Amino acid sequence: MLTRLTVPTRRREVLEDVTERVVEVLRSSGVQEGVCYVICPHTTAGVTINEAADPAVATDILSYLAELIPHQGEWLHGEGNSDAHIKAAMFGHSVVVPIEDGDLVLGTWQGIYLAEFDGPRARTVLVKIMAG
């Protein structure tokens, strides 16, 4: 089962917590054991797993990335979003989470994030639940 989620982002760069939406997809699937793939089919956004308990973590990540890879630079790519492509490549386009007893196996503080680097816009997140 492949589910497409639409995730509206509010700013140019933001980490949007999509954990609960992924959990909803899992619950509706009825799968108890297996693997959950979360995929971002965009070149200027990605997905990651990180701390979801303290929103300062997401802020710190984005602040550091802005220092490391500034929006304005001597980029060859002419669309004005070269930094977004680089940041998305660093994050990657997918995460894999085991499923056990009908739940995602995440650490106590972990959440799944859509990492937006060229918003605001409506993004697609693909969720694939595989029974196993």
How deeply is 22 buried, as exposed, middle or buried, from its count of CB atoms within 10 A (0-12, 13-18, 19+)?
buried
What is the pLDDT confidence band of residue 100, given thresholds at 50, 70 and 90?
very high
User: How does pLDDT run across 54-93, given as a tens digit for each residue?
Assistant: 999 999 999 999 999 999 988 899 899 999 999 999 999 9
Structure tokens at 80: 């004005």
Residue 17 belongs to domain spanning: 2-131
Q: What is the pTM of this model?
A: 0.95
| CB contact set of 130 (below 8 Å; sequence gap of 6+) | 31, 34, 35, 36, 37
Specify the pLDDT at position 78: 81
**CATH (domain of 64):** 2.60.120.460
Residues 120-127 have a mean pLDDT of 98
CB atoms within 10 A of CB 75: 16
Q: What is the mean pLDDT of the chain?
A: 97
What is the pLDDT confidence band of residue 1, given thresholds at 50, 70 and 90?
confident
CB 119 within 8 A of CB 9: yes
Please give the tally of structural domains in the chain: 1
Specify the pLDDT at position 122: 98
Residues 40-56 have a mean pLDDT of 97
